[in-house]
A and B are shown apart, each in its own frame.
Chain A
Amino acid sequence: MFGVTVSVVQFGGSNCDRDAVRALGHLGVDAERVWHEDGLPDDTEGIVLPGGFSYGDYLRAGAMAARAPIMEEVRDAAADGVPVLGVCNGAQIGSEAGLTPGAFTTNASARFQCEPVHLRVERTDTPWTAAYDEGDVIEVPIAHGEGRFEIGDDAYDDLVADDRVLFRYCDADGNVTDDANPNGSTGNVAGVLGERETVAVLMPHPERATLPDVATSTDGAGILEAFA
């Protein structure tokens, strides 16, 4: 869709940056890791905030990285229409930085959870989901301790009314149920859009469901294909 050069922003404690670069490379996307202190390269046309444990999850997951100077550049780029995708810790960073609504906090289980989950695609008219059909169920893994989406009742109503929910946790048949909700997220929300449809965050890891040699599912490739 975008056909862009992607900067994968690496903070101290990021650990999915290489995976993201490799998965994007597999899809033919030119991507490179960028150390946060170096700022965004001039040729940045797309941005991935990768997973990991930036700053050891101090204070709240993503809280420190969200206040790093490079995030000013990321916010400006996002406002200019540069596509930005936050994955897992990158989703926490994105929401802490105000790129997307809501917050990701401690799983209802109080445990770190690493497991495959099913997601229902709620919209297909966004760059991140153009590869799917409406109602598609995709399998993508999660790996997080703080992935429970919280937003407050009124703001949740606004989120739904504005059609900014991108993915919901569901069962294999696409039913959005409590049993299929791995972390107690409000409305089973797994991923949301920012003010622009070119900005999105999600807790599951599409880069871990892209490479056929290492992944049991390649369903996540469609999300990263937005950059292709």
Chain B
Amino acid sequence: MTDYTATVTVRLKRGVLDPEAETTKDALERLGFELSGLRSADRFEIDLSADDADAAAARADEMAERLLANPTIHDYEVAVEER
């Protein structure tokens, strides 16, 4: 078994309104920053042990499917690194 950190990034699907990101963008503009867009995402860093990186990624993928993301509105990515 090897120790890994799986990073799951969950973001709204393209085209799904993100009022929090819009509000954050507006606030940055009020502070005088110039920007043309802003997207936000949730990032989960999961420490786990697995036989190999594929097994770690598969487990993190299932975590995203079953809880961390809502497939109706979210896309997600999984990246695995040895710890």
CB under 8 Å from chain A, chain B span 1-56: 13, 16-20, 22-23
| B72 near A110: Cβ-Cβ < 8 Å | no
Q: Does A106 contact B (CB under 8 A)?
A: yes
Chain A residues engaging chain B, CB cutoff 8 angstroms = 59-60, 63, 67, 95-96, 101-103, 105-110, 148, 150-152, 155, 184
Closest 9 CB pairs of A and B: A110-B19, A103-B72, A110-B23, A106-B19, A103-B73, A150-B73, A103-B70, A108-B19, A105-B73
CB distance from B25 to the nearest CB of A (A): 11
Bound CA–CA A184/B13 (angstroms)? 16
Interface size class of B (residues with CB under 8 A): 10 to 19
Contact: B20 with A59, CB < 8 Å?
no
Bound Cα distance A103, B13 (Å): 13
A107 contacts B19, CB within 8 Å?
Answer: yes
Task: Out of B18, B67, B72, B73, name the residue touching A59 (CB < 8 Å).
Answer: B67
Residue B78 at the chain A interface, CB threshold 8 Å: no
The secondary structure that dominates the A interface is loop
| Complex A-B: 17 CB contacts under 8 Å | A59-B68, A60-B70, A63-B67, A67-B66, A103-B70, A103-B72, A103-B73, A106-B19, A107-B19, A110-B19, A110-B23, A148-B17, A150-B73, A152-B13, A152-B72, A155-B72, A184-B19
- Inter-chain CA distance A91–B19, complex, in Å, is 21
- Across the A-B interface, how many residue pairs have beta carbons closer than 8 Å? 37
Beyond A103-B73, A155-B72, 8 extra complex contacts between A and B, CB < 8 Å: A95-B72, A102-B72, A103-B70, A106-B18, A108-B19, A150-B16, A184-B17, A184-B19
**Which residue among A107, A152, A184 has the maximum number of chain B CB atoms within 10 Å of its CB?**
A152
| The residue from A60, A110, A150 contacting B20, defined by CB atoms under 8 A apart | A110
Chain B minimum-CB-distance residue to A109: B19
Q: How far is the CA of A46 from the CA of B7 in the complex (A)?
A: 41
> What residues on A are CB-neighbors of B67 within 8 Å?
59, 63, 67
A148 to B13: give the CA distance in the assembly, Å: 15
Name A60's closest neighbour in chain B (CB-CB): B70
In the complex, what's the smallest C-beta–C-beta distance from B16 to chain A, in angstroms? Answer: 6
